[in-house]
Structure 1
Amino acid sequence: MGQPRGQGFQPTPCPRCDGAELDEAAYALLLGWYLGDGHIVAAKRGVYTLQIANDEKYPELSQEVAATMRLVKPTASPCLRGGSTATRIEVRWKHWPCLFPQHGPGRKHLRKIELVGWQRDIVARYPEQLVRGLFHSDGCRFVNWATRPIVGGEIRRYDYVRYMFSNESEDILGILTDALDLLGICWRRPRRNAIAVSRKEGVEMLDRFVGPKK
Structure 2
Amino acid sequence: MVGHAHRIRLGHWQRDIVDAHPDRFPRGLFPSDGRHTTNRVRSRRSDGSVRGYADPRRFLGATPDDIVRLAEAAPDRTGIAHRRAPRDLAVGRAR
Shorter-chain TM-score category? 0.7 to 0.9
SS in structure 2 at match of 1:107: coil
Judged with a 3 Å threshold, the aligned counterparts in structure 2 of structure 1 residues 186 and 200 are, in CA distance, closer, same or farther, namely closer
Give the corresponding residue for 2:92: 198
Matches within 5 A, 1:31-180: 107-108=3-4, 110-153=5-48, 157-180=52-75
Q: Supply the distance in 2 between the matched residues of 1:121 and 1:149 (Cα, whole angstroms).
A: 46
List runs of 5+ in structure 2 lacking aligned partners. Answer: none
Asked whether the equivalents of residues 81 and 94 of structure 2 are also in contact (C-alpha less than 8 Å), the reply is no
Pair 1:198–1:132, CA change in 2 (3 A): closer
CA distance in 1, matches of 2:62, 2:37: 17
2:77 matches 1:182: yes
Give the distance between the partners of 1:178 and 1:126, measured in 2 at CA: 12
Q: Confirm or deny: 8 A CA contact 2:33 2:63 kept in the other structure.
A: no
Identical counterparts, % of pairs: 34
Is the 2:3–2:64 contact (alpha carbons within 8 Å) kept by the matching residues of 1? no
Letter in 1 for 2:27: R
Distance 2:24 2:54 in 1: 28
Aligned counterparts of 2:51 and 2:13: Cα–Cα separation in 1 = 50
Indicate the RMSD between aligned Cα atoms, in angstroms.
2.6
Unpaired segments ≥5 residues, structure 1 = 1-105, 202-214
> Match for 2:9: what amino acid?
E
Displacement of 1:113:
1.3
More strand by share: 2
CA shift, 1:198, in A, is: 2.3
Q: How many residues align?
A: 94
- TM-score, with length taken from structure 1: 0.37
TM-score (normalised: structure 2) = 0.73
Separation (CA, whole Å) in 1 of partners of 2:50 and 2:94: 22
1:172 alignment partner AA: I
Shift of 1:144: 1.4
